[in-house]
Structure 1
Amino acid sequence: MAVLFQILLQIIFPVFFLLGVGALLHRLLQFDMKTLSRLLTYLFLPTVIFVNIYQNDMTPSLLLEIGGFLLIQFLLLGSLAHVTAKGMKMDKKLAATFKNSVVLNNSGNFGLPVSQLVFQANPVGASVQIMVMMFQNIITYTYGLMNAASTEGKGTMNLKEILKTPILYALVLGFLFYGFQIPIPGFIWTPIENIADAFLAVALLTLGAQVAYPKLENFSAAFFLGLTGRLIVAPLTALAVISLFGIDGTIAQALFIASAFPMSRNSAQFALMYDNYQEYAAQAVLISTLISSVTVTIVIYASRLLF
């Protein structure tokens, strides 16, 4: 119990404290959300990805193992969400948003800061989360966008959106610099590290601002099933795949924790774009983020016991 309390105090409380500060400041000062979002997308996220990859110790076989895990978990979750939507006889628009809410998670603004706090003394854990985040970005603009657009007969893979994602190029550069052991002069490395260090606070303040104006009403069966799928079924699925692959240690901990993060804001964004139950999607993102304060704490605790 003492360990559980320490996780809540040392990891989860700092995350939600910054979320709260972000929400409060946005209500008082009315941030320019577009500018904040662009700063994260084009500066902070790519920089923190480059730094973590450049400093990582992951081998090609380990990267292949992580990739295999992510692919199988995605296929399992996607299949479960599809079967549930069919079984509940959801209409096409609700089914699309429901499936996205289960499969897509907030691996960037929420997941990476949490991983940085959990694995402060072990950068490999944060590097695993970066691989998860890259995979999530790919399925967001393929599976996620196709799901949402299919309700209007436009279910095509958006390769253009993937190629416009700056983190893809940060990932490639990170691996190139790491693979060829290219030295970076101190006068360049220092500002790069400073930007990377600022990511955690900026990401959480921005996420807090994004959920500053909650609109909570009309909770449905699909809403609760979506929460259950994202916060409970997803970690259990990850646990099964980890056992299947025989993964252990820090890698197993990082993958298990990464599976428990709340719903992605992109699922709400796609619902808004294609008018697919946008209120349901926005509420689900907010509530899953709040409830994850409990579920992610439990998963972090379980990861330390199991691995």
Structure 2
Amino acid sequence: MENLILSVNVILPLFFTMSLGYIIKRIGMFNDITLKTMNSLTFKVFLPSLLFYNIYKTDLKTVLNLKLMLFAVTCIISIFLLLCFLIPFIEKDNKNKAVLIQAIFRSNFVIFGIPVTVSLFNQDATGVASMLIAVVIPTFNILSVIGFEIFRGSSINFKNIAKGVVSNPLIIASAVGVSFLALNVQLPTAVDKTISDLSKIATPLAILLLGGSFEFKASTKYLKQLVLGVLGRLIIVPSIFLPIAISIGFRNVELACFLVAVASPTAVSSFTMAEQMDANSELAGQLVVFTSGLSVITVFLWIFILKQLCYI
């Protein structure tokens, strides 16, 4: 019963915040322009502040887990390559292929990673989660661009990929955080407090905006793709890679961080990338909505199972 209550308490705050965002949008306090602007602000200011501050404030010797980081990146690349091979046998429309691949391999770890692990292990988890985000995000970005380029039939522009990676605010924030931590740079108290305050806004606002972006339309139009995407992202991928992580020996904070990396819903940014890469952005948006909504149930179940088995 204790594990059940803990699992519920981890997920319910996320569900309530997403629900509030959805309600606010429905009653007209959000509109599409507001959501777009606030999402951009969150991505460019608040989330980078959160990542930077969490890395900056951690004990590098304690949280720098190269084994976990390498394992996570290897798993992501493996999922991507496997999907690039399998999806063309299932989906014939090129505009849908890359969208499905991205939806299944690219999780919303940047938004869900820290709140879930902190709920399980308090603030001790922020450093590990932030370090993992620092390597997972560029991996997601690079592979997503490659996938879209492959299935729209154009040659891969490595210059654009590199530009996209080095200009990503989350990657910049992570790199600066690691640099400051490694060089033992001490921020002035006022600057430290400002970044700390900004970082506290990131998670609740990002999840609130995620709820506000929910649009339950066109679901019957893409029923097959939605079923495949939801099952792949929330059930199949974690079912394959969590046992591997456990067999390797990951436990507690490490396993919890990895759990969120492989079991959280499809990244919100996948919709934007689908738009930019001339893919089926409508399907991409629906996959974000349905994986996000259903992840409240599936992530709860994954946490409960791992708690019951005493792995986290």
Shared fold (TM-score greater than 0.5)? yes
How far 1:75 moved relative to its partner? Answer: 2.7
User: What is the CA–CA distance in structure 2 between the aligned matches of 1:61 and 1:273, rounded to whole Å?
Assistant: 36
1:35-184 to structure 2, matched below 5 A, reads 35-59=37-61, 62-88=64-90, 90-122=92-124, 125-150=125-150, 151-157=152-158, 158-184=161-187
Alpha-carbon distance between aligned partners in 2 of 1:296 and 1:5, rounded to the nearest angstrom: 14
In 2 relative to 1, CA 109–248 (structure 1 residues): closer, same or farther, beyond 3 Å?
closer
Residue aligned with 1:259, SS: helix
Deviation at 1:296, TM superposition (A): 0.6
CA shift, 1:184, in A, is 2.8
Give CA deviations for 1:50-69 in whole Å, capped at 9, x if unaligned.
11112223439943212211
Deviates further, 63-72 or 244-253:
244-253
Match of 1:14 in 2: 13
CA distance in 1, matches of 2:62, 2:268: 31
CA distance in 2, matches of 1:95, 1:217: 18
SS at structure 2 position matched to 1:29: coil
1:249-269, Cα deviation, whole Å (9 max, x unpaired): 321222123211001123322
Is contact 1:101–1:264 with CA below 8 Å preserved after alignment?
yes
Give distance in 2, aligned partners of 1:186 and 1:285. 39
TM-score (norm 1): 0.88
After superposition, residues 171-250 of structure 1 pair within 5 angstroms as 171-211=174-214, 213-215=215-217, 216-250=219-253
1:263 and 1:289 in contact (8 A); partners too: yes
State the AA in 2 paired with 1:52. Answer: N
Does structure 2 retain, via aligned residues, the 8 Å contact 1:147–1:155?
no
State the secondary structure of the residue aligned to 1:25: helix
Q: Cα deviations across residues 139-196 of structure 1 (Å, max 9, x unaligned)?
A: 3332112212331414334111111112222212212222232333333222221111
Structure 2 CA distance, aligned partners of 1:116 and 1:306? 16
Q: Deviations over 1:20-67 (max 9, x none)?
A: 111222331234123212221222111111111122234399432122
1:60–1:189 Cα change, 3 Å: closer
Q: Which moved more, 1:74-83 or 1:53-62?
A: 53-62
| Aligned residues: CA RMSD | 2.4
Deviation at 1:108, TM superposition (A): 2.1
Unaligned runs of 5+ in 1: none
- How many residues are matched? 303
Q: Is the 8 A contact 2:109 2:267 kept in 1?
A: yes
The 1:91–1:306 alpha-carbon spacing in structure 2 relative to 1, beyond 3 Å, is same
| Structure 2 residues without counterparts, runs of 5 or longer | none
1:34 corresponds to which of 33, 36, 47: 36
Aligned equivalents of 1:50 and 1:61: distance in 2? 14
